[in-house]
Amino acid sequence: MPTKRLFAAAALAGALLTSLPLFAEPLNGQANTPTATLAPNLMGQLAVFAPAASLTQAALPAQPVQAKSKPSGWAIEEDDLDADGMPGDGVDNVASLANDTSDLRKTLISLAMKLRDIRYVRGGRDPSTGFDCSGFVRYVFAHAVGLDLPTNSASQFLAGLKVNRGDMKPGDLVFFRTAGKRGQGRISHVGIYIANGQFIHSPSRGKTVRVDSLDESYWAKRFAGAKRPDALARSS
């Protein structure tokens, strides 16, 4: 605001304050208080008018709102760091489940098989966009049996009951060390065991959800063990 307007606003405020005692009602019941005494009392009870300070505040730019820091979010797998030598295709003939397989395990495998051919997407966790390995496993367990698994293969490996290879059942989780050469790296891949040495998983970039065999050389060298999630352990 130009300087002339500031002076005009200040002069107007002064004129108003000077004329107020002529029209104001007596304060505190003091009907006979002289105008000369009333004016200072009234002045003290009015808010100080400081146009310059108000204008300065209004001219300041609005302070930016600090965005809340987002959680680290979904853990991203490194499934394809050592994809060299991985079979290009999965198995054609999928093993059948044994007749004594529990309904819970059948439900898991049934949903997993319906998700075949969905593409691999790093960090993916939904069929509409694609899956990485842990996203696929987590989706199947959440929607088939309502079990909320950890968000990546390494943390999924730490949960549940350890299972010997010869004792694996449909729905158990199988883990691999695909991030290093010949199975020497960390846990970096997970799939769902079906039967007869077969498992279903989302392998790596450029591939889709498919069934593979634990006996195939690539997977046999990188196999790290099997775990049985709590819900399955209780139903066994």
CATH number of the structural domain spanning residue 205? 3.90.1720.10
Collapse the DSSP code of 186 into the 3-class scheme (helix H, G, I; strand E, B; otherwise coil) and give the result: coil
Which residue matches tokens 């050469």? 181
CA distances from 66 to 81, 167, 230 (A): 37, 54, 41
Q: Does residue 97 lie within any of the structural domains?
A: no
Report how far residue 103's alpha carbon sits from residue 170's, in angstroms, rounded to the nearest whole number: 11
Structure confidence at residue 122 (pLDDT): 92
Domain that holds residue 203: 103-235
- What is the per-residue pLDDT for 36? 43
119 and 195 in one domain?
yes
Active site residue 143: no
Measured CA to CA, the distance from residue 204 to residue 201 in angstroms comes to 9
**Domain contains 226:** yes
Identify the DSSP state of 120: B
Judge whether 197 lies within some domain: yes
The reply to whether 85 falls in a domain is no
d(CA 195, CA 93): 12
Which residue has 């204008």 as its token pair? 55
| Residue 214 shares a structural domain with residue 162 | yes
Question: What is the reported pLDDT for 11?
Answer: 55
Predicted confidence at residue 15, as pLDDT, reads: 52
Q: Does residue 93 lie within any of the structural domains?
A: no
Q: What is the per-residue pLDDT for 144?
A: 96
Instruction: Give the total number of structural domains in the chain.
Output: 2
Residue 193's SS3 state is strand
- Check whether residue 110 and residue 225 sit in a common domain: yes
Residue 201 is a catalytic residue = yes
- Can you give the pTM of this predicted structure? 0.67
Helix H segments across the chain? 3-23, 35-45, 51-59, 103-114, 133-145, 153-157, 217-222, 230-235
Could you say which of 105, 125, 177, 201 is catalytic?
201
State the catalytic residue, choosing from 189, 210, 227, 228: 189
pLDDT at 27: 43
Residues 202 and 116 in one domain: yes
Could you tell me if residue 170 is inside a domain?
A: yes
Quick one: DSSP state of residue 204?
S
Q: Are residues 43 and 149 in the same domain?
A: no
Can you give the pLDDT of all 236 residues of the chain as single tens digits? 455 555 555 555 555 545 444 434 444 444 444 444 444 444 444 444 444 444 444 444 444 433 333 334 445 665 555 566 788 888 889 999 999 999 999 999 999 999 999 999 999 999 999 999 999 999 999 999 999 999 999 999 999 899 999 999 999 999 999 876 655 678 999 999 999 999 999 999 999 999 999 999 999 999 999 999 988 888 76
135 and 55 together in one domain: no
Q: Are residue 126 and residue 199 in the same domain, yes or no?
A: yes
Residues 110 and 203 in one domain: yes
107 and 55 share a domain?
A: no
Co-location of 202 and 128 in the same domain: yes
Answer yes or no: is 150 within a domain: yes
| Active-site entry in 109, 133, 144, 168 | 133
Q: Is residue 190 part of a domain?
A: yes
Residue 184's pLDDT is 62
